[in-house]
Structure 1
Amino acid sequence: MPPVRDHIPVVVQGRGRRGRRAGLAGVLWGAAELAVTVGAVVLLLVVHQVWWTNRQALAGAREEVRALERGWAAPEPGSPRPPGEDSGPEPGPRGSDASSGAGPSPPPSASPAGGPASGAPARAAGPAPAPERDQSYAVLRIPRLGLVVPVAQGVDKKAVLDKGYVGHYPGTAQPGAEGNFALAGHRNTHGEPFRYLNRLRAGDEVTVDVRGQRYTYAVGRVLPETTARDTGVVASVPRSVVKPEYGYSAPGAYITLTTCTPEYTSTYRLVVWGTLKR
């Protein structure tokens, strides 16, 4: 009978530790993959917000300027035709859907590329009429900035500002009128028409074209920073209620340009004021 040997179990050491290490490595790998995925999504969102929205809004705003100018070049319904022209049907709708062809617009002599053509009037005889809400009805030109952008009634983000337009504050004066023609525009994204508003200096010209009329303003004063609730900057006689040393004290025909500051934030407002050239 063979001798009975005691069975001694063999313990294999290290497998549990290696298993735990493998599990931890898997978790870390998964976290890394998740971080890369989230980073890629965030990057795509940034590209869309900063680049693509600019591209879309710029293209749309330029087309709107062209549409307004085409509408201004066409005779208004019911207006007498020059001698020698056949009496045919009236021209089709003027402007784009956003403008609906209604409301005042820049003179036919205005250059679509951005500068006024020779012979354009320096200013009109009277103020422009009030347009309908969200309707584009004017073109703002700032030669120093190379800016040509449509102006629409109201400052709604989706209907006006995010389309790359400049918005007219409701309740403020119209172009050429006594009071304050106050405008707002994006500084970053969505066409960013007021990106370089801080570059304006006293004496720079700002023109506003509506149908058959041009109003020219001269930049007078700049408020580098104020709060978003500083309503004094768009008052009829503009003066900051936060920094009263900035602004005006006498009635006149003013233009106010407002945008966010610092760049890529909406914490404060940058304000540029001008007066109508007589």
Structure 2
Amino acid sequence: MGSTDFAVAPPPDRRPHRVRAAVRVFGEVLITLGLVLLLFVFYEVYVTDWFTARKQDDASRRLDQQWRAPGPPPPAPGEGDAFARLHIPAFGPDYRFTVLEGTDPATLAAGPGHYSATARPGEQGNFAVAGHRIGKGAPFNDLDRLHSCDALVVETATEWYIYRVLPLAEEAPSWDSRAAYPKCRGVAPIGVPYDQAVGRRIVGPEQGEVIHPVPGRPRDTLPKDQQTRLITLTTCHPEFSAAQRLIVHGVLVKRYPKDPADTGLRPPELEER
């Protein structure tokens, strides 16, 4: 019997299969990471808002009870205590947040928090308040929409304090053309040493001097009795990031005492839009 030679076929190239398997695994990992990211965003934006809304409601009820109680207002609030309300009419008639003492994470999860080392509402110096921009109620989400002269109304047990956003840096050279507007009465660029106190600024997270009595200057720049009455609102910038801080500065232009006999009396500035 004769022999027959057979050609030996080479083994199949499995590299394409390995590449496809690697691509499939990589794609599944990306999908999983995307789902995790979506869940995180959903939690931060919606779930934390729900928890904060409950905490804010509780703080507001406690503040109302405190204000209705007979006798003088209580002494300086402790960490996490509610003591004032912030109204920003430009954001609509329903915009009002109870302000709590302190800026620790637990306090800011319930609403805007007062930097404890800064001035009290209406005092000479700088009444500074922090708030979240995304999630946890996002009380300061729209700070970048504020314009110069917009009202920032702070309500306490006995007073209404009307602050207004200071001129933006680019508006200062031509401010005289706006000074006659009714909303801008009492608002003007402030000279040295307040030259860094402008309506809106973006700063680094390390620039804590924005909440000093004279923003941007050392704390002892001016004696207290020579300090301007300011308000400063701070939040993260840009949205979904803590890389920078968005800062809004305002100046006190008016105050109204509360009338205990007429609890429905409200400043006309609350009707501005």
Q: TM-score, normalised by structure 1?
A: 0.66
Matching residue's letter, 1:229: E
Deviation beyond 4 Å, 4+ runs, structure 1:
none
Q: 1:224 to 1:28 in 2, by over 3 A?
A: same
SS at 2:236's partner residue? strand
Residue pairs, 1:67-146, within 5 angstroms: 67-73=62-68, 75-76=69-70, 129-146=75-92
Aligned residue pairs, count: 214
Residue pairs, 1:1-278, within 5 angstroms: 3=1, 5-6=2-3, 8-9=5-6, 11-13=8-10, 15-17=11-13, 19-73=14-68, 75-76=69-70, 129-146=75-92, 147-156=95-104, 158-163=105-110, 165-221=111-167, 222-236=199-213, 238-241=214-217, 251-276=227-252, 277-278=254-255
Query: Larger RCO: Structure 1 or Structure 2 (Cα < 8 Å, ≥ 6 residues apart)?
Result: 2
Q: 1:31 to 1:193 in 2, by over 3 A?
A: same
Identify unmatched segments of 5+ residues in structure 1: 80-102, 105-128, 243-249
Identify unmatched segments of 5+ residues in structure 2: 168-198, 219-225, 256-273
- 1:82 aligns with none
Matching residue's letter, 2:248: V
Q: TM-score, normalised by structure 2?
A: 0.67
Larger Rg: 1
Q: 1:201 to 1:53 in 2, by over 3 A?
A: same
Q: CA RMSD in A?
A: 2.8
Work out the CA distance in 1 between the residues paired with 2:64 and 2:152. 18
**8 Å Cα contact 2:151-2:163 kept in structure 1:** yes
**8 Å Cα contact 2:60-2:82 kept in structure 1:** no
Work out the CA distance in 2 between the residues paired with 1:31 and 1:226. 39
SS at 1:263's partner residue? coil
**8 Å Cα contact 2:229-2:251 kept in structure 1:** yes
Deviations 1:166-195 (A, max 9, x none): 111121111122222111112222211111
More helix by share: 2
What is the percent sequence identity of the aligned residues?
33
**8 Å Cα contact 1:254-1:275 kept in structure 2:** yes
